[in-house]
Amino acid sequence: MITAIIVGAGHRALCYAELANKQPERFKIVGVADPNEFRREDTRRRFGFPAEMMFKDAAELASRGKLADAVINGTMDIDHVPTSLLLLEAGYDILLEKPFAVSEEEVRVLDEAVKRTGRHVMICHVLRYAPFYTRLKDLVLKGEIGEIINIQTDEHVSYHHMANCFVRGKWNREDICKSTMLMAKCCHDLDLITWFMSGVNPVRVSSFGSRSFFRREKAPANSGEYCLIDCPIESECQYSNRQLNLNHPARWGAYVWPQIEHIENPTMEIYEQELKRKDNPYSRCVWKLDNNVVDRQSVMIEFEDGVTVTHNMVGGTSRPCRKIHIIGTKGELSGIMDDNRFSIYKIDTRPEHEYTTEIIDLNNEGDTTGAFGGHGGGDLRLVEDFVSVLEGKEPSISCTTLADSVNGHLIGFTADRARMENRVIDM
């Protein structure tokens, strides 16, 4: 049995740890490190380990030596590398949340530590494990569409996701969280691009983007500073906290309600009072905060074999979705992950024909997502693969080792520099 300790008992780490409840014969959570006493106790209740296996932070845990096989590191982005360095030296293998670093220098430092200690570090690029993307990768590896010519990816970040996580939420300021919008939200997509390119290195990057919508001058006329306190048009506003959060208290509960997470079954009155506290950033008008991350960005990449790639991130959309279109010399793959369906297009030179279309609907192949958590069913498949690697088994084609994840992160850091410096950057 593989044993693990949770470091940073937030939403993502607890999602990954759920494999211990689904496959208890293979995987067991035996401890937690988190500065929040409620979260420590809550994690202990969930997984049933003794009180002496609770620690205030990664440093305290590391000082005790190796107490388990592995760590699920779900700390905030800025803490990923500093905590992982301590845990690697203590002897732990690590399942590390993305983005695994907040700078190119951190990438190098962590890479050197992994090589020196010889530990396994798997990055939580869960979309590689979603059946949708795994099937696309398999077809590319089999040569179904020939050599790749071009890749186009898009991520549409919904209005409620954008407002709650990147305008009002804890990823709303680059100078505080140390992650840009591109890295916090789209390092999945950049990783998928480099995964499909099978180790071919990126050589040039350019990018454009801005915070164009969620800013004070875009606020509706006569709007207030605090959504549920002084705004006369709140009932008409699609970004009203009543519409986004009181009507949907569970949707972004892990992010919106940290101050009342200790209350079991809070009433609507408690929720509303929380959104009427002026010291709560979620109480503010979405156009009148101090957020500084972009709400749209486009990235263009050239690889060393001449393949060109574009990625578009658009925040505030009606429908959340990820799209992909891979064009090869013999055909094309195109689909939307959220539909769990894609099309294969092939050239057809028969008289009165132009191309053929084959639709692959993964919804007809049984439960490919729900039983395996979020991100298109990728969450727990990722953890399964991590456990398999530690058991000494052969990793899957989706395996997200640190070395495999470096190029996607470097593209992201370079793209943000290109955007801010308004130039094309050679990598």
Please report the domains of the chain, with CATH numbers, ordered by start residue.
2-97 (3.40.50.720), 127-214+292-375+402-426 (3.30.360.10), 226-283 (no CATH)
- Count other Cβ atoms within 10 Å, centred on residue 417: 14
Residue 288 CA neighbour count, 13 Å, CB half: 16
DSSP, res 311: E
Give the global pTM: 0.93
Contact assessment for residue 290 and residue 214, using Cβ atoms and an 8 Å cutoff: no
Q: Strand pairing of 148-158 and 202-210?
A: unpaired
Query: For each of the chain's 427 residues, which pLDDT tens digit applies?
Result: 999 999 999 999 999 999 999 999 999 999 999 999 999 999 999 999 999 999 999 999 999 999 999 999 999 999 999 999 999 999 999 999 999 999 999 999 999 999 999 999 999 999 999 999 999 999 999 999 999 999 999 999 999 999 999 999 999 999 999 999 999 999 999 999 999 998 899 999 999 999 999 999 999 999 999 999 999 999 999 999 999 999 999 999 989 999 998 898 999 999 999 999 999 999 999 999 999 999 999 999 999 999 999 999 999 999 999 999 999 999 999 999 999 999 999 999 999 999 999 999 999 876 555 555 566 678 999 999 999 999 999 999 999 888 878 999 999 999 999 999 999 999 9
pLDDT for residue 59: 98
Cα angle 368, 369, 375; round to 5? 135
Report CA-CA distances (Å) from 287 to 164, 213, 220, 282, 290: 13, 8, 9, 12, 9
Contact assessment for residue 226 and residue 168, using Cβ atoms and an 8 Å cutoff: no
- Count other Cβ atoms within 10 Å, centred on residue 152: 16
H or E stretch at 122: strand 121-123
Place of tokens 């503010």: 284
CA–CA distance, 231 with 246 (Å, rounded to integer): 16
pLDDT for residue 142: 97
pLDDT for residue 373: 57
pLDDT for residue 254: 87
Q: Strand pairing of 70-73 and 202-210?
A: unpaired
For the chain, the 3-state helix, strand and coil shares in percent, each to the nearest 5, are 40, 25, 35
What are the phi and psi torsion angles at 83 (to 5°)?
-70, -40
CA–CA distance, 119 with 337 (Å, rounded to integer): 33
Contact assessment for residue 46 and residue 39, using Cβ atoms and an 8 Å cutoff: no
